[in-house]
Structures are given as C-alpha cells and as structure tokens.
C-alpha cells in the first residue's frame, strides 16, 4: 500500500549507519543473524517473476556431544496474481503458477520445510462477509487441486510443504474450515490441522464462513523435525502455543493474513513472550 514501510529491516538498513544498525539489531534481536548467500539461479528466478528472496541464519547454542541438526525453513508471503473480478478458476490457477515459481526458488536455496501464507489460494476476502464467489475457492484438503499441486512440488523438490487453504469438508455437509495441509517431502499428505481460534472483531469476523477447528493441537513428524501450525489468530492465545510444545513440536508456524499496522506490533511482542516459555522455534509470517 502507498505510504507504508516496505519492512522494518529495509527502513533501518537505509537510514542507519553500519555501527548503529548493528547495535539496534542487537537490541531488537538479541544477537546478530547473519544472512545466508542466495544462489544466483534463485536470484534470477526472483527477478524474472518479480518477487524477493531474503535469508538468515537462526542459531541455537552449540552442544558439546550432540551434533547440530541443520534445517532450512522457508516462509512465503504473496500477493494475488489475477484481478479479484476474474473467474475463480483463473484466480486460483494464477496463484498456483506464482507459488510454483516461488517454491522453485526455495528449492534452489536448499529449503527443507516451506510454509505458505494463510488461505494462499485466494484473496483474503473474509472481511467482505459475502459468500459468493469466495466460498467457491474452498476445496478438499486431502485430494483437491491445490493439495495435488503441493504433493507434486514436495516430491519434486524433496521438501515438506505446509499449505493453508479454505477447506470444504464434503463428508460433513460441505462444511468450511480454515485449514493447513501438511505434505511430506515424498509427496504424501501427513494430515491437516484446522484454525483453533477465529476473530470476531471489526472486519475480521470470520464466523460468517467457518467456526473454530476440531483437530486440536496436532504435531506432525517429518524427516526434518516435529512441526505444528498455529494459524493466524491462534497466536493471541498463549496456551495455544503451550499445547503445541507439550505435544512435542520443535517448529511451529504461524501463517497469517493481516493488513498494515493492525497487528504487527502485537505479533512481535507475542513472539518474544511465547518463545520464552515454549521450547520450539516459532516462525511468523503475516501477509501485510
């Protein structure tokens, strides 16, 4: 949006001298997180398809007897790829193509686990409270076209993929859910988890479309670690995070959709407070 910051990092790096920038980052992040070199092929792909790639090392304290287990995590923030007035099939296909290119770039960067943003296959239209055409984007979580695409990408790139979608549960009367599908690096659907908490505040009253999920605090065993998905609004509830930790999660994603300054400050404060008490790595990527 016009007049908004590209990012906090972008602002700091463009306005602070090197030494001051280093000190500010120390205050904000506790320690320096060095960038990881991005392969030239990934950079070219990003330039060709108009997206940006950033990479950082997030380290844990080195143990004396246990060798480090290195995992590369990818988080995707994307915009829509077709006009919201275009046919539903056209909009979804355009996003499928866009995300496929981004996933290819992630693979070139050596990503092991890739998480897309909340309801990535559609405009985040829940603020409209209109059923049509937005409910038409809902699809089967186990065998819908988006899951089939993600299975192909996961197998092709040997990558675990977390795919948050609007789910249509045809077995139970076409009930809609806000769901994340987890796909293993060999292309098998490991399962799904549904959004535990939904907002009923202002424009973000999602109960028009779906209700709180019924899957609990699922943890998925993958080749690269035990991971969980705490979708969007669930981040505001500390015991939500606690339960993922109790259930053994090592990595917890928080795919979200928000706008501007609506919840950016809360996100980082909650991140710090929750990771102080829960023993896992937390990855937030709001769409702003």
Q: What is the mean pLDDT of residues 233-257?
A: 91
Inter-CA distances, 103 with 3, 116, 148, 203, 250, Å: 29, 9, 15, 31, 23
Based on the residue annotation, tell me whether 195 is a catalytic residue of this protein. yes
E strand residue ranges, 73-187: 73-75, 113-115, 160-169, 175-183
- For residue range 125-162, list pLDDT tens digits in order: 888 889 999 999 999 999 999 999 999 999 999 999 99
| Tokens found for residue 81 | 């790829």
**Is residue 165 within 8 Å of residue 248, measured between CB atoms?**
no
Is 281 exposed, middle or buried (CB count within 10 Å of its CB: 0-12, 13-18, 19+)?
A: middle
Q: What is the mean pLDDT of residues 36-61?
A: 92
Phi, psi of 106 (to 5 degrees): -60, -40
Specify the residue for token string 């009930």. Answer: 175
User: Does domain 37-57+71-287 sit in CATH 3.60.110.10?
Assistant: yes
| Tokens found for residue 117 | 């943003």
Q: Domain extents for the chain?
A: 7-36, 37-57+71-287
Based on the residue annotation, tell me whether 25 is a catalytic residue of this protein. no
Q: Which residues make Cβ contacts (< 8 Å) with residue 174, sequence separation at least 6?
A: 138, 168
Helix axes 88-108, 40-49, angle to 10 degrees: 160
Query: Looking at 38-42, 94-98, 167-171, 203-207, which range is the least confident one?
Result: 203-207
Based on the residue annotation, tell me whether 54 is a catalytic residue of this protein. no
- Which of 2-11, 135-144, 272-281 is the most confident on average? 135-144
**Could you tell me the pTM of the whole model?**
0.90
Q: What is the mean pLDDT of residues 179-205?
A: 93
Q: What is the mean pLDDT of residues 185-192?
A: 98
Q: What percentage of the chain has pLDDT greater than the value 90?
A: 65
pLDDT confidence bin for 98, thresholds 50/70/90: very high
Catalytic residue among 135, 150, 232, 287: 232
Specify the residue for token string 């981040």. Answer: 235
- For residue range 58-88, list pLDDT tens digits in order: 888 888 999 988 999 999 999 999 999 999 9
Catalytic residue among 195, 206, 270, 287: 195
pLDDT at residue number 49: 96
Catalytic residue among 118, 139, 206, 250: 118
Query: Looking at 175-189, 204-218, 264-278, which range is the least confident one?
Result: 264-278
| Tokens found for residue 10 | 């972008």
């Amino acid at each position: 949006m016009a007049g908004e910051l590209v990012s906090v990092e972008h602002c700091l790096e463009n306005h602070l001298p090197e030494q001051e920038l280093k000190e500010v980052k120390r205050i904000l992040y506790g320690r320096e997180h060095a960038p990881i070199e991005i392969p030239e092929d990934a950079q070219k792909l990003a330039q060709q398809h108009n997206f940006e790639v950033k990479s950082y090392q997030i380290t844990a304290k080195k143990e004396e007897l246990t060798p480090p287990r290195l995992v590369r995590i990818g988080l995707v923030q994307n915009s829509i790829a077709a006009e919201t007035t275009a046919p539903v099939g056209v909009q979804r296909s355009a996003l499928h193509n866009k995300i496929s290119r981004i996933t290819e770039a992630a693979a070139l960067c050596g990503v092991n686990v890739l998480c897309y943003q909340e309801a990535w296959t559609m405009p985040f239209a829940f603020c409209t409270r209109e059923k049509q055409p937005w409910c038409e984007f809902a699809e089967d979580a186990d065998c819908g076209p988006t899951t089939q695409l993600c299975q192909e990408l996961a197998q092709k790139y040997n990558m675990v993929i977390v795919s948050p979608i609007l789910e249509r549960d045809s077995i139970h009367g076409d009930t809609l859910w806000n769901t994340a599908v987890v796909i293993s690096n060999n292309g098998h659907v490991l399962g799904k988890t549904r959004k535990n908490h939904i907002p009923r505040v202002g424009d973000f009253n999602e109960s028009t479309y779906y209700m709180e999920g019924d899957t609990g605090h699922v943890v998925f065993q993958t080749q690269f670690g035990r991971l969980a998905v705490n979708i969007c609004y669930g981040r505001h509830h500390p015991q939500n995070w606690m339960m993922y930790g109790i259930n053994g999660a090592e990595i917890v994603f928080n795919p979200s959709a928000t706008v501007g300054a609506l919840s950016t400050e809360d996100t980082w404060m909650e991140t710090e407070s929750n990771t102080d008490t829960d023993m896992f790595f937390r990855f937030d990527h709001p769409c702003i």
